[in-house]
Amino acid sequence: MSIHRSHRESANQSALQQRKTSRSLISVCMAPKITDERILVTGATGYIGSFLVRRLAKHNEVHVLARNKTAAVSTLALSADRVHSDLDTAAGVLQAFETIKPTLVFHLATHYEKHDDLDKLAAMIDANIRFGSFVLSAASSLDQCRVVLAGSHFQFGGELNRPASFYAATKDALCGIARYLQEARNLLWIQPVLFDVYGPEDPRAKLIAVVVERVLAGESVALPNPEPLHHFVYIDDVVDALIASAIELRADHFRTGTNVFVTSDQLTTPSRVVAEVAAAAATQAKLDPVPYPLPEGSIMLPVAGSRPQGWQPRVGLQEGIGRIVAHAGR
């Protein structure tokens, strides 16, 4: 059996199971909402974090931890007293928590590097383990403070079911610390596992953003061989999933330590992405005849499990790509 046929069959089975699971869950609402909470967000100036903060700030008191206070105030349109920037020591982070007294924390701060040279390893350890440990420890010092700890599907390494890179290993290490604090200090936490997040104005060099840029510029697009499968999830749906995870943990503390998977309804290949972008742009995509080799640690078939309770994606790939292309054409 070819790898492409195996992927298609696995994708169909996965999508069918997810649809069955979604129908059996009790929906919290079409767009889950949290109100009247004191919320702390890390990684707030990142792509996902900025969308999350704007949503949460409509109905909650939102604070953020950010290294660059001026940039955070400007980017997020928050008052200066809502941005806390003493992040270099455990004492500084603990002081911020004691000042804010959050009832809910979204820990999105992370640092990713493709290559594992020593300088880049140190940066990932500092951001993903050291700083993350400060946040979790501070949260565990507050009674009933809940933590939504954003994870990566690379922690599960596809068919190997283990971290696929050093970056993923640092994310996994922080989960080990969370599990320790759960037992030792009753930390309440849940991990929504994120896949390929996409949307308009994405500054990251992600697959869909790169394909849109190249197709609209009339440049050729290279595809890998063989093609991996992806769960592409639109940014608004990802924000919904993060909020739904927080609601799930609030409703049932026994969900502490659970992984919930923020998956699309259908696994997708890069070639389909190119076709959808070309269709949305009403043009022909130019394909590079030479495929590019997949980097080490690539996942051909991502591992997934149960979604956040009551959540399912509302924006399909065709609609999401259409929105990005339309936005880029403004």
pLDDT of residue 330: 65
The pLDDT, as a whole number, for residue 5 is 37
Q: What is the mean pLDDT of residues 97-110?
A: 97
Q: What is the pLDDT of residue 116?
A: 75
Smallest CA-to-CA distance from 224 within 284, 165, 160, 290 is with 290
Q: Is the pLDDT of residue 134 over 60?
A: yes
- Domain 3-328 grouped into CATH 3.30.70.2340: no
pLDDT confidence band for 88 (50 / 70 / 90): confident
- How large is the average pLDDT for residues 172-201? 97
21: pLDDT confidence band, cut at 50, 70 and 90?
Answer: very low
- Around 51, how many Cα atoms within 13 Å sit in the side-chain half-sphere? 18
Percent of the chain with pLDDT over 70: 91
Domain ranges of the chain: 3-328
Average the pLDDT over 73-100 and give the result.
Answer: 93
User: What number is the average pLDDT over the span 12-36?
Assistant: 55
pLDDT digits over 258-315, tens only? 999 999 999 999 999 999 999 999 999 999 999 988 887 889 999 999 999 999 999 9
